A and B are shown apart, each in its own frame.
Chain A
Amino acid sequence: MMAREYETVIGLEVHVELATKSKIFCGCSTEFGGAPNTHTCPVCTGMPGSLPVLNKQVVEYAMAMGFSTHCQINQNCKFDRKNYFYPDNPQNYQISQFYLPICYDGWIEIETKEGRKKIRIHEMHMEEDSGKLLHNEWEDFSLVDYNRSGVPLMEIVSEPDMRSSEEVINYLDRLRMLAQYLGVSDCKLQEGSMRVDVNLSVREKKRKIFGTRTEMKNLNSFKAIARAIAGERERQIDLLERGRQVVQETRRWDDMKEYSYAMRFKEDTKDYRYFPDPDLPSVMISDEWMESIRASLPELQPEKQARYERDFRLPTYDAAIITASKHLADLFEQTVALGGNPKKVSNWLMVETLRLLKKHGEEPEQIRFSPEHLAKLITVAEQGSVNNRIAKEVFEKMYEEDVDPEVYVKEHELTSVHDASVLKEVVKQVLENNFKVVEEYRNGKAKVFCFLVGQVMKEMQGKANPTMVGELLRKMI
């Protein structure tokens, strides 16, 4: 029983892995995987005497994100060292931005039940990722892999402007869409290219002052984030209701147990002793550089959706769904460019493609079929050489193996039979075999007509044009 009404206050710290080819401070590859410590050099393994050199692309990606979220750009920004000891951090300091982050004071607009809402962005800064520790519990030792060490990250810190998990998911969706549209990150939570820490507090409704917040880590999916928010809200309210206090701490969410645990820290207070990294001069961002990045920003989702409605005459609903994924939108435009009817292309993507993606638990990025093959399939179906059911069957094959629909239809003899004489024979046979049903139809039971069509199709192994079959049946009954 809850005596008081509570409001949840949420701010997010989102780490996004930037999709540069090389690391932020050295030339090593950022490619995922690879045998341990093969994408490394003296710089990203913290060898004595090595020095960092900034990857310009990282700054450009950060600026692009900043412009797209209405941020101010710090034209004289700096890197700072965050000092702490941990074996996955080879220098025992992380190069990050503390005093002068590249972007600050921006916002992202989200849709809520109450309408549109601005979520303010406090700052965005560039930093390096750490390596990975592999613990061998049985033999009691740990190994470290520095392949990820030095992969560029952007940390996006929001203001505590969100009030529900729906708003959080919506914000993350917008952020992810932005990053994907800009091509700065693929933002995959499961693979860790997008990491979300949730800062959450509760307060009695109408209170002005925020409650004590906790920070939650280890959130590997949107669903886990929603569950964690619900769980932590409940835990904090429960504490307050029992007259206890929320402790400011970092908690680790266990999605299996649906509970968070306080993380242990050796030191009571963390003092990272931030100071400007003397190895890296200030990043001076000229007006010209800024303008060139601004000018090269790609079309973002809202503009794309508007264009689809305007130029391709797609319904708003279609345009919104297709443009929600940059990948799907690209596929749409490529297929239309090959001559596909926009509405038909949109239908294939919205209905069949999304159904199969969901069925296989895949993301639009994993789509294998080419726009060429989708365009061909649409042509084949339009010309009526295969019927709808067969087209869907072919599409499924295309989805799985990217087969050429023309070749596939030919090889599997799936072309609809248009030869009236062949069909006539079959219809005649069906009518004879089902004379009782035909009687029923003649007596006014219209429903059974479908059964007769079905029987013909069955005989034809589906390779008949249903309209033609209907016409023939009516004529011959």
Chain B
Amino acid sequence: MDLMTLTAVQLSSKIKAGEIKVMDAVDAALAVIKEREKEINAFITVDETGAMHRAREVQRLIDIGELSSPLVGVPIAVKDNICTKGLKTTCASKILYDFVPTYNAEAVANLEKAGMIIIGKTNMDEFAMGNTTETSYFGVTRNPRNVGHVPGGSSGGSCAAVAANEVPCALGSDTGGSIRQPSSFCGVTGMKPTYGTVSRYGLIAYASSLDQIGPVGKDVTDCAALLQVIASYDSKDSTSVRLKDYDFMSALKNNCAGMKIGIPCEYFGERLNPEVKEKIWVVVELLRENGAKVEEFDLGMLEYVIPAYYVIASAEASSNLQRFDGVKYGYRTKDDMGVHDMYKSSRSEGFGSEVKRRIMLGSFVLSSGYYDAYYLKALRTKALIKKAFDIAFAKYDLILSPVAATTAPKLGESLSDPLQMYLGDIYTVSVNLSGLPGITIPCGIDSAKLPVGIQMIGNCFSEKTLLQAAYTYECIRNVEGKGRT
């Protein structure tokens, strides 16, 4: 039996039943990693020794009955912008190439509490800026479904690792689609929770008002289980929200009867690849056949989401990334010089070109004289986008849309035209601008055998509705065989 084809929940059940040991699961993961990494490059760091050590400890705790959560003993990969105490955390940047955090991110602390085993840290676009995982200082990650293609990004490493069966599940982070888009490209399930659901403490910020950590798994059940592990109120994060209910797994019900689903017409315009469109319509029809009330409507604002997103995200990033200066940690230039020149050289040598582009863009929109014209206007646009969603959610339980206009592009096709690359985020960024939860579920493959995903968007803190709808579709898909990947 190949343990690594099991879902996380299935694997944990076997461990809890005593059929296999935690060490077997870790061994299996490490074996696949050894076999696939040369080709995929999903990981920046693989912590073989730490994982084995931790596996023995967790097994002992299971044996004495102290750990029994749904994901206990499951190996997991963590995106390399989430701090892991004692384990290198680089943000895929030269400027943090040797940075070892002194503390665990709250989400990581939650993984450990639940008895999960961190196998390693996954590759990503540098500082999560990009949607192909090609801007990493540690080389590109390849799409396990077709290694000539990108895995998407910025959580490309996490999604590729799951797709390649290197780990059953992973943590990603999503600022403008960074979990949902690579999940779609790699044919896995990934979720961006409502802003405030998972603590950002220890997530190295790209754009603080948009960033959110989320789960990546093989199916909806794993996503729900993993979300249940990492979601918590955290007094160390001022934007953390205390939820009444953290029992996300109870939402896994196969029933969409009477569910009101809105389809925003403008998301299905010319830009959308016909093959992708066709796969998504299959999902719409299946849900309708199973009792959902589906309706097309005008959401509006689509043409403004990209400029608003890039102004706000870049502005915050330009300030967030100022702490990387060569003084306290990370890369410092080898040239011996005064402090201001040291800053300049360390940053010029330490950051890649996409990061520099966004720092410059962000610094520009915040500079005096331009603040009102760009930054403030973007904030107002953001409020209007949120309002449009509020109006929609007064009518619908959830919104269904594509994740990306196409399937995964070929390696090297995207970086030459940044503006085109930014437009690739058009279906995902408004979810972040509005703080909403969104999930990507695989819904088929195109003629090039590349996965297609569908995005479901819920109202704030309606993760359970979202998970129920996603789970229901997954059940229908598995029975019908349509949209299988």
**A and B associate in one complex:** yes
Please give the residue numbers on chain A whose beta carbons come within 8 Å of chain B beta carbons, in ascending order. Answer: 42, 45-54, 81, 83, 85, 87, 90-93, 142, 144, 266, 271, 273-275, 278-281
Distance in Å: Cβ of B445 to nearest Cβ of chain A: 37
Evaluate contact between B328 and A85: CB separation under 8 angstroms: no
**Chain A residues, Cβ within 8 Å of B396:** none
Distance in Å: Cβ of A445 to nearest Cβ of chain B: 81
Q: Which residue of A lies closest to B322 (CB)?
A: A92
Kindly identify, within residues 63 to 97 of chain B, every residue whose CB is under 8 Å from any CB belonging to chain A.
Answer: 82-83, 89, 91, 96
How far apart sit A389 and B314, CA to CA, in the bound complex (Å)? Answer: 76
Answer yes or no: B43 CB below 8 A from chain A CBs: no
Distance in Å: Cβ of B37 to nearest Cβ of chain A: 26
Number of B residues whose C-beta is below 8 Å from A? 44
How far apart sit A47 and B89, CA to CA, in the bound complex (Å)? Answer: 12
Q: Which residue of A lies closest to B344 (CB)?
A: A85
How far apart sit A52 and B239, CA to CA, in the bound complex (Å)? Answer: 10
Evaluate contact between A51 and B340: CB separation under 8 angstroms: no
Answer yes or no: B22 CB below 8 A from chain A CBs: no
Chain A: interface secondary structure?
A: loop
Please give the residue numbers on chain B whose beta carbons come within 8 Å of chain A beta carbons, in ascending order. Answer: 82-83, 89, 91, 96, 99, 101-103, 105, 200-205, 207-209, 235-239, 315-316, 318-319, 322-325, 327-329, 339-340, 343, 363, 366-368, 371, 375
Distance in Å: Cβ of A442 to nearest Cβ of chain B: 88
Evaluate contact between A83 and B322: CB separation under 8 angstroms: yes
Evaluate contact between B322 and A275: CB separation under 8 angstroms: no
Given known contacts A48-B89, A81-B319, A273 and B96 CB-to-CB distance under 8 angstroms: no
Evaluate contact between B315 and A275: CB separation under 8 angstroms: yes
Evaluate contact between A90 and B319: CB separation under 8 angstroms: no
Q: Which residue of B lies closest to A91 (CB)?
A: B323
Q: Which residue of B lies closest to A27 (CB)?
A: B236
Given known contacts A48-B99, A266-B340, A87 and B327 CB-to-CB distance under 8 angstroms: yes
Given contacts A48-B96, A49-B202, A279-B205, 16 further A-B contacts (CB under 8 A): A46-B323, A48-B91, A48-B329, A49-B82, A49-B203, A49-B204, A54-B238, A81-B319, A85-B322, A85-B340, A144-B327, A266-B340, A273-B366, A273-B368, A275-B315, A281-B238
Distance in Å: Cβ of A293 to nearest Cβ of chain B: 21
Q: With contacts defined as CB atoms under 8 Å apart, how many contacts are there between chain A and chain B in the complex?
A: 95
Evaluate contact between A271 and B323: CB separation under 8 angstroms: no
Evaluate contact between B99 and A278: CB separation under 8 angstroms: no
**Chain B residues, Cβ within 8 Å of A83:** 318-319, 322, 366
Evaluate contact between A93 and B322: CB separation under 8 angstroms: yes
Distance in Å: Cβ of A47 to nearest Cβ of chain B: 7
Distance in Å: Cβ of A386 to nearest Cβ of chain B: 60
Evaluate contact between B238 and A275: CB separation under 8 angstroms: no
Q: Which residue of B lies closest to A280 (CB)?
A: B238
**Chain B residues, Cβ within 8 Å of A51:** 200-201, 236-238
Evaluate contact between B322 and A48: CB separation under 8 angstroms: no
* Most chain B C-beta atoms within 10 Å of own C-beta, residue among A48, A50, A280: A48
Distance in Å: Cβ of A280 to nearest Cβ of chain B: 5
Taking a contact as CB atoms closer than 8 A, the residue among B235, B239, B325, B363 that contacts A281 in the complex is: B239
**Chain A residues, Cβ within 8 Å of B89:** 48
**Chain A residues, Cβ within 8 Å of B319:** 81, 83, 93, 273, 275
**Chain A residues, Cβ within 8 Å of B99:** 48
